Structure 1
Amino acid sequence: MEAIQILGYFGALFIGLVLGLMGSGGSIMAVPIFAYMFQISPITTTAYSLFVVGTSSSVGVLKNFRRGLIDFRIALVFAIPSFVTVYMTRKFIVPMIPEELISMGNFMITRNMGIMLLFALLMLIASISMLRKKERPTEENVQPRYNYPMMVIGGAVIGILTGIVGIGGGFLIIPVLVLWIKLPMKKAVATSLFIIALKSLIGFTGNLGDLDINWSFLLVFTLISILGIFLGIFLSSYIKSEKLKRSFGWFVLVMAIGILCKEVFA
């Protein structure tokens, strides 16, 4: 086994750690690890990412449920349209994307490159939205805004994006829950993890029969990630919400810049 692949398995542990700690970000790690460390094609990478993030998140959901941190009203209204759009996107839209998207002389954007660039762009937007937001009032004084049309539209849009780039979507869901719906950060993390778990696994089913899945590799990778999520949930109890939000924003920003540089200048 090559050294970079061994490092990739350590990355599996970090995927779970990030998911447990931040309620998102697992796919931000999974997609580059599968694509760059294991040399898996982006289409297959997106499917693997959905399975790993969905399965690992499910374990975290059980622990957060016992702690009473999941807002099921928001989760269900947000998640149902997302379920529909992510499945439809994986089943019908992704297979229709052409191999060559844009060709300008010697420069060409292929389907694989386009998926990674879109992935990085979404990360960049989400990170800036989190870092620019001023500190909110004390969490105990903030009541969630149950804006159902916003939740339905947001869920549907994130479902489409999730299906295309193979992400759990937490780095998009959490800014919506925190900045628009005013959900406290730790509840946003737990609620996001619940939405991610269901949405990712449903999205993965859209690929069954279309791809050749290496189940032995995928299950080992997922088990390592599950160990990381237990560690992340444990550590999250000792970190303040506002610090967690800013750390999340910086983490996503660094990853976005790294992927953009890799795709454009490599």
Structure 2
Amino acid sequence: MNEHSLLGIGLGAIIGAILALTGAGGGILAVPLLVFGLGLSMVQAAPIGLLAVGLAAGVGALLGLRQGVVRYRAAAFIAGIGIVVAPLGLWLAHRLPNLPLTLAFSALLLYVSTRIFTTALRELRHGHAAPRAEVLPCVLNPLQGRLRWTLPCARALAFTGMLSGLLSGLLGVGGGFVIIPALTRYTNLDMKSVVATSLAVIALVSAGSVATATLAGVMYWSVGAPFAGGAVLGLIAGRQIAGYLAGPRLQQMFAIVGGIAALMLALSALRIFA
């Protein structure tokens, strides 16, 4: 095994550990790590990041299925739409210059980091938000324990799938930062079920995007396989200490790192094209 593969395993392990500690959405740092650590372009890094995040999310989703907290019908519906839309994002990624693509990713990462930081800060100051009293489009049937499928519910979940699929193909992100807020806003699921369902969607959409990239000949398996393997190892190791470290302070630390990575990525791209 050469140094490049070992470096890929190490970087993947970092992403897996971040996913274990911060939950769905932490994998957005996979692309910056691949760009800075292995010198890849955005287009090269995107499907590799998805492979690692998808595998790690799949492990989390399987654990959620065993615990019975994954809403698999909702996950399949969102992911099905996302898989259909993801090739459009991949098509756009290969037709846009690297500079605007990198700047778009940097802006997205900065937005996600800011939102995570402010959410963690609000939790530290006021605790968890109280249950909402308004009527939600997707609610659990108390007798069956399943979501009631109405037209507003299907519309909300369909839009979530379209957005996560587009971002998956275009920028190589799993979409947890889209799916979790959407499920929190549109459903009355508890957070454990929201995260587990989000992981299932990420795993399915990522698998579809990786398959599309492989068929298109733009998936670099020599880099992707070690990176993804490291991510799974990092996730397993991270889960052993997640109970001791996870919390709002850790979310804030992740947000700060994400914000710095976003700025570095943007400045690096602008310096190259200046």
Q: TM-score, normalised by structure 2?
A: 0.76
CA-CA distance at 1:228 after TM superposition = 0.9
In structure 1, the partner of 2:106 is: 120
Equivalent position amino acid for 1:124 in 2: L
Classify 1:255/1:156 alpha carbon distance in 2 versus 1 (closer, same or farther; 3 Å): same
In structure 2, the partner of 1:79 is: 79
In structure 2, the partner of 1:15 is: 15
| Structure 1 spans left out of the alignment, 5+ residues | 99-110
Kept in 2, the 8 Å contact 1:25–1:252? The answer is no
How far apart, CA to CA, are the structure 2 residues paired with 1:262 and 1:163?
Answer: 23
* Alpha-carbon displacement from aligned partner over 1:154-173 (angstroms, at most 9, x marks no partner): 22022112211111112232
How far apart, CA to CA, are the structure 1 residues paired with 2:246 and 2:220?
Answer: 39
CA-CA distance at 1:89 after TM superposition = 2.8
Output aligned runs, 1:12-161, within 5 Å: 12-90=12-90, 92-95=91-94, 97-98=95-96, 111-133=97-119, 134-135=122-123, 136-137=128-129, 146=138, 147-161=153-167
In structure 2, the partner of 1:223 is: 229
How far apart, CA to CA, are the structure 1 residues paired with 2:21 and 2:177?
Answer: 13
Q: Does residue 205 of the first structure (1) align with residue 211 of the second (2)? A: yes
How far apart, CA to CA, are the structure 2 residues paired with 1:168 and 1:218?
Answer: 15
Classify 1:143/1:17 alpha carbon distance in 2 versus 1 (closer, same or farther; 3 Å): farther
Moved over 6 A (4+): 141-144
* Alpha-carbon displacement from aligned partner over 1:155-208 (angstroms, at most 9, x marks no partner): 202211221111111223223333554544333322221111110110111122
How far apart, CA to CA, are the structure 1 residues paired with 2:38 and 2:181?
Answer: 30
Equivalent position amino acid for 1:218 in 2: G
How far apart, CA to CA, are the structure 2 residues paired with 1:238 and 1:67?
Answer: 21
Q: 1:165 aligns with which of 171, 175, 179?
A: 171
Percent identity over paired residues: 28
* Alpha-carbon displacement from aligned partner over 1:92-140 (angstroms, at most 9, x marks no partner): 4334x14xxxxxxxxxxxx11222211111122233334445444357x
| Structure 2 spans left out of the alignment, 5+ residues | 139-152
